[in-house]
Amino acid sequence: MTIQPPNMFLPGCVALTGVIECDNIRRDFTFNFKVTTPDTKIVISKGDPLGAFIPIPRYFVDKFDIEDATNYFSDEMILNEIEESNKLSVERTTVDLKRTHASGRRYFNGENTDGSRYPDHQKRVK
């Protein structure tokens, strides 16, 4: 799968996501961009990252089944998750907008809205 390089942007355009079956491919494939700012000169310099690749083995996705969360989690836990999600949504559209980068960085810091910490949170790859 081809994607936009994570957290990297070219002003005026975006790389589109594509799925390429390549275990039998015998030629090149297209890598598509969408112009997001019409009538603007788009500059791509040597060395600019244009895309990223995520290898997904054939038949990998076929192994998954969709199941209802209630088969695994209590009603209380599901309601708590929904409540936390709603609180984060309110923060994102209110108080976070006034913060640097319009982000409260709760996820980055591994913190729930009540201040409790995510178990075994990892900020960076070692």
Q: Which residues pair with residue 117 across a beta bridge?
A: 111
Give the tokens for residue 120.
Answer: 């075994």
Q: Where are the domains of the chain?
A: 1-64, 69-109
Query: Among 53, 56, 57, which Cα is nearest to 31's?
Result: 53
How many Å apart are CA 53 and CA 19, to the nearest integer? 10
Pairing of strands 33-35, 52-53: unpaired
Write down the pLDDT at residue 73: 97
Q: Say whether 83 sits in a helix, a strand or coil.
A: helix
How confident is the prediction along the chain (126 residues), in pLDDT tens digits per residue? 999 999 998 899 999 999 888 777 777 888 899 999 999 999 999 999 999 999 988 888 898 999 999 999 999 999 999 999 999 899 888 988 888 877 788 888 889 889 899 898 888 877
Write down the pLDDT at residue 68: 95
> Cβ distance 51 to 80 under 8 Å?
no
Amino acid making up residue 77: M
